[in-house]
Amino acid sequence: MPAKLSVNLNAVALLRNRRDLPWPSVTHLGRIALAAGAHGLTVHPRPDERHTRRADLPLLRALIDDEFPEAEFNIEGFPDAAFLDLVEASQPDQVTLVPDDPAQPTSDHGWDFEAQSAVLAPAVRRLKKGGFRVSLFANPDAAGLAAAKATGADRIELYTGPYGGCHDDPARAAQELRLLAAAAEAARALGLGVNAGHDLTVANLPALAKAVPFLAEVSIGHGLTADALEFGMAGTVARFLKACGW
């Protein structure tokens, strides 16, 4: 089965937050994406609320519950106490833990699983006790994945930023793709599911899907939102679904 598509709404929220106005509506754009066939929605509610706001989360949860019950809600964030409380109040289907400093403009690296196991293991235990699927943001490196598995997490999400960043360098893109495929194989061998995200596009998704045919999910925000300015949200979701292999 091809990788499922989760639409990250942070870029939509960032555009809305430029004005003290309710548009573009994060919930409305999420509805269009799901109606067009997206398998889920992703948000990353950072502490300063520069992207998705806490107030968006119950609206998105209700949207999925009321109109798209087969879709999934994925919340990303750093596992401090405030985030874990927010997750438990919001009841997502999946929680993706990322090692972001609050000052970072976007996620730009995966966890050092061995060095940060003391942070991850109790957070994963708490989330698993709450019934959530847990995914950990990971660099495309097989080293340390055993430590990721030891936390009790269900999946990793491969950080594909370096792959997306070499869009104008085919040789480097091929090298990054090999690293992603090797890390994905190592994760699968450990019994971890594999997601992927960051700077994925219609152009680079097919090669990733071919290199990692067992990819469970891709979470895409910036490139998808940029394309939506040209093709509309529904048309863009259709294009990304096709690029995933649907």
Residues annotated as catalytic (active site), given as ranges: 44, 76, 198
**CA–CA separation, 120 and 158 (whole Å):** 17
**CA–CA separation, 236 and 231 (whole Å):** 6
Mutual orientation of helices 26-35 and 222-244 as an angle, nearest 10°? Answer: 10
What b/e sequence results for 33-49 when a residue is b if at least 16 CB atoms lie within 10 Å of its CB, and e otherwise?
bbebebbbbbbbbbeee
**CA–CA separation, 72 and 47 (whole Å):** 23
| Triad 201, 27, 244: Cα angle to 5° | 25
Q: Helices (H), strands (E): how many in the chain? A: 10, 8
| Triad 80, 153, 72: Cα angle to 5° | 85
* Length, in residues, of the chain: 246
Assigned token pair, 179: 């690293």
